[in-house]
């Protein structure tokens, strides 16, 4: 997963879409844009685009984590454990 995160982040930085000054709000705006595209693909039942837009959403989230030095793999594991504990109640 770390390699996937690193390679994707590098590719977006190389395109100039992420810079050292990219703000959280800019990431969130991009996330909204990708969710909107996902919703449109779903509405049109365009399965090929549904898959691609879902990937875009995930990659924006991973880029946010990388940019702000969040160990997303650790956070995902923590969240899964938390959800599992909730299911036991």
- Return the pLDDT at 57: 98
- Reading the block at residue 34, the tokens are 């990708």
**Integer-rounded Cα radius of gyration of the chain:** 15
At residue 32, the pLDDT reads 98
The string of DSSP codes covering 10-44 is HHHHHTTS--TT--HHHHHHHHHHHHHHHHHHHHT
Residue 60: which of 25, 31, 22, 86 has the closest Cα? Answer: 31
**What was the pLDDT predicted at 44?**
96
Euclidean distance between CA atoms 53 and 24, whole angstroms = 20
Say what the pLDDT of residue 88 is: 81
pLDDT band at 62; cut points 50, 70, 90: very high
Separation between Cα atoms, residue 81 and residue 72, nearest integer Å: 14
Question: Is 2-87 in CATH node 1.10.260?
Answer: no
């Amino acid at each position: 997963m770390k390699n996937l995160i690193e390679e994707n982040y590098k590719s977006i930085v190389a395109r100039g879409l992420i810079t050292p000054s990219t703000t959280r709000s800019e990431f969130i705006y991009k996330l909204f844009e990708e969710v909107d595209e996902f919703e449109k693909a779903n509405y049109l039942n365009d399965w090929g685009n549904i898959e691609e837009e879902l990937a875009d959403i995930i990659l924006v989230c991973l880029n946010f984590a990388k940019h702000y030095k969040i160990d997303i793999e650790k956070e995902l594991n923590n969240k899964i454990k938390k959800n599992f504990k909730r299911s036991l109640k």
